[in-house]
Structure formats: structure tokens, C-alpha cells
Amino acid sequence: MSLKFGTSGLRGLSVDLEGPAAALYATAFAHTLLASGQAKPGDTVLIARDFRASSPAIAAIAAGALLRAGLTVRDCGTVPTPALALYALTTRSAALMVTGSHIPADRNGIKFYRPDGEIAKDDELAITQAADALQASLVAIDATPAEVPNIEPTVRDLFIARNMALLPERALSGLKVGVYQHSTVARDLFVDVLARYGAEVVPLGRSDTFIPVDTEAVSADTVSALRRWAGEHALDAIVSADGDGDRPLVSNEAGEPIRGDLLGLIAAEFLGATVAVTPVTSNSGLERRGTTEVLRTRVGSPFVIAGMQDAVTSGHACVVGFEANGGTLTGSDVTVNGTRFAALPTRDCFLPVLAVLYQAAERREPLSAIVAGYRLPVALSDRLERFPVETSQALMAALRSTPEALAAFLKPLGAPAAVSDIDGLRITLMDDSIVHLRPSGNAPEMRCYVESATEEKAQALLADGLARIRDWADQFGQAGTTGRASE
């Protein structure tokens, strides 16, 4: 059983979670809540899930474990993670979201929420230690599933009400928007909310089987489909999300995806943020925009949330966070459209989607023109899937070993001028292009992020960066050592 916390939640193989593992970690979570005083016996824990084939079984096993730990459980059904988080905060309930987000269908995960919001890194450690203690006790883990009362409509209605108060009535009239539904839990809510705002909505690509969609590294097949749909239906935009609906995907009128960090910046400006907290992987041009102070963190929502909390403590009036995948968080209460919105410090795909569509409708400009107006460097990213963790660790160790080793690795791409080691290695080259190499925190994947002055240069840099990683991995596999890293 290989399970671990990554950048957002516990992740592992579905075959591991569909059994004692789900019961083990749900029990460990219950023990940490009760031991810390964040919950007392009989308090409610909410459970929701995505559309993966394994998610219903995992949710039922977790529900049984929580009941046996002395807590009350309510089933919120298949709703977006931000909808679950909103209802949990409103009712001061702990919560579990069974989801693997964007990772392949043979994997799954669990996201944990305290009654006051998403768990922090310290909580992850406490849950892990509690799980280790339960395993060390040699007491058999009871993985008997349980059925619990369903409150899905109530959770969904609260989330819809929040989103319907963000914009003026009929604010999206005149827009024709496609919704790439695939297997995201946000698919029907997108259609509902956009139609209520007056947009003409075209549902697209609905799937009965789970399709992993990574909004930070949109696949070539997905881009091809977006381009085709945009032309076939004369769309102004296409919107979608990852599996659990906390990361947005938005394409322009030509079907070209818009970077998630730009969507986050647009949402921050829409809310009038005085400070935006975002990981080091987000576009380096955000600071040059000058509309809000930008604070950088490591990758992962717990780090962004911690950064937002620090900014609120420092006295900032409106604090927003977002990641390169577009997931947008609010760290402070804010008034929009005459309505006071409570902070929702967890990733949300609806806020950035509505913010960018509203900008297009209000300005009566195509999304391509709006994107061009921000004049950010061209930023691209992709990943190598099923990349062994030990290989990525060896690669990063080799590149960090000496400046000469790093320079030799980068030689086909360019000479390094500066290096940041906040999270992975982010290298600024002599021509001001950027190459960022980082192992995924959620899955056996190696990620490469690049920035350059033009689309052509960025595409070439990304292709060369991924090729360089593959070459190194092949050499590492043949040699069984990191000794050839600098060749």
C-alpha cells in the first residue's frame, strides 16, 4: 500500500484505497479531530466524491469508519470540492472529498477539511502519524462500508446561490459558451449557472467513463477537441474543470486554452485584491502587471492558504490566492456586486470562469484580445506521466549536486543565469527564458514549466526540456546510477 500526501490531499492507487486504506485514513482523521478538540463525539462529517469508478466504494468505506469512530456522517454526493468546502465552512463541519483530481483513473485520493477549512501540512503529519499508530497496534482495520443520508441538493443549492450573486443579472447575455462536460462533477452546475446568467450554453463531450483532465498541462487531444468544437459551434469560449471541479479550464473563441495563472489574476483583479498569493510556478509576469502585490509560495494549496493567512494577519484588506492550474482561493471576506462573500480558502473553478467571461461580455471583446492585453510572457507546461519517483529524485539530486552538473544538463537549452530552489529547480536562462523542473507532489510524474518571449520559443523550449528529461531518465535506467547526469 503506497499512499502519501501530495500538493493537495492523500493520493494512491485505487486498488489500495478500495479497502482497509480508506478506513485507516478516515479513522486517523477522526482521531485527530477528536484528540485536538476540533470535533466531539456525534459531530457531523460530510463526504462527497468525484465520478471515478472507485470513488463510491471508497466513500462508503470512509463513511463506515467515521461512524465507528463515533461521528455522524452525511453524504453530499457528486459535487465540486469548493461546493463541499463551502457547505462545510457554513455548517462548521469537517469533510472528506474522495477524488484523484486530474490524475489517471487507476488512482484516487482523499482531501480532508477541518470544520474551519482545508487541512494544513501539520494536519497531514498528524493524520499520517495517527494512521501509522493504528497500523502498529496490529488491530484489524474494519473496512465495512456504510450508507448514510444524502444531502446533495442542499449542498448544490448553496453553491449555486453563492455563484449567482457574483455578477449582475443576465451578465453573460450575448455570449455563446461551450461546456466541456467530460466526467467533471462541475459539468451540470456550469450549464445551470451560465444559462441563468443569460449565456447560450452548448454542452460538449459528456462521458460516462472517467477522463483525467489536467488544466495545468492540457493534453494535445483535449486541445484538438476544443479547437474543433469552437469552430463547429462558433463559440465565444469553452469552459470545463478537472475531475473534482476545483481547477478551471477555459479556452478562447479559437479553442486555445488560457493559462490558469492568468485566470487567477483576472479573478483577483475582479475582486479588487490588494495581494495575490501564488506558487513559484505561476507566470513571472504577474508582478510586472502591477495591479496587486504578488507573494510567492511552494506548490500546493496548503502553502497558498498559509501565505494568505500571513497576508491577512499583516493587514491586507482583500487577499486572493491562485495556482498555475487556475484554482482560485479567497483568504478574506469581500464585497462584490453589493453582496458580502465569506472567504472560501480552497481552490474553486467557478470564480475565475465567471470573472473572465464577465470581462469578455462587459468589454464586448473576444477572449484572445483580453489575454493579449495582459502582455504576460508565453508560459507553457507539460509532464511525463508514470515517471518513477526514484528517477525524479535522482535527477533532482544530480542537478543540485554542482553548478557544472546543472549547466551540462541545460546546455542544449541555454546557459543558466539564475536559479531558484523554492520548489523544484526554476532556472532563468541568459536570454531571460525560464525552465522549471519539478517532480509532481501527487503522482509519479515529472513536470516541466517554461516561459519565453514568443509562443514558438516557448514550444521549442518545452519540447527540448521534456526531451532532456527523457534522455537523462533513459541513461539513468541503463546505468542504474546518477553518474551520467552531467554528460
Do 157 and 83 touch, CB atoms closer than 8 A? no
Cα separation, 177 vs 163, in Å, equals: 17
116, 121, 143, 441, 442 from 389: Cα distances, Å? 33, 21, 29, 10, 11
420 is annotated as an active-site residue: no
- H/E stretch holding 457 reads helix 455-479
- Please give the Cα distance from 465 to 296 (Å, whole number): 24
Angle, helices 121-136/22-36, rounded to nearest 10 degrees: 120
Residue whose entry in the numeric block shows the C-alpha cell 509532481: 440
**What does R_g of the chain's alpha carbons equal in angstroms?**
22
The residue written with cell numbers 554542482 in the block is 402
Question: Do 356 and 266 touch, CB atoms closer than 8 A?
Answer: yes
What's the rounded Cα separation, in Å, for the pair 159 and 299?
27
Other C-beta atoms lying within 10 Å of the C-beta of residue 36: 11
The angle that helices 121-136 and 301-313 make with each other, rounded to 10 degrees, is 130
Long-range contacts at 139-144 (CB < 8 A, ≥ 24 apart):
141/20, 141/23, 141/24, 141/27, 141/65, 142/23, 142/64, 142/65, 142/68, 143/19, 143/20, 143/22, 143/23, 143/61, 143/64, 143/65, 144/61, 144/64
Residue 7 φ then ψ, to 5°: -70, -20
244-274 in b/e burial notation, b at 16+ Cβ within 10 A? bbbbbbbbbbebbbbbbbbbbbbbbbbbebb
Contact 48, 98 (CB under 8 A): yes
Phi-psi region of 254 (alpha: psi -120 to 50; beta: other; left: phi over 0): alpha
**Phi and psi dihedrals of 383, rounded to 5?**
-145, 155
Phi, psi values for residue 323, rounded to 5°? -115, 170
Residue tagged active-site, from 8, 54, 93, 101: 101
Active site residues: 101
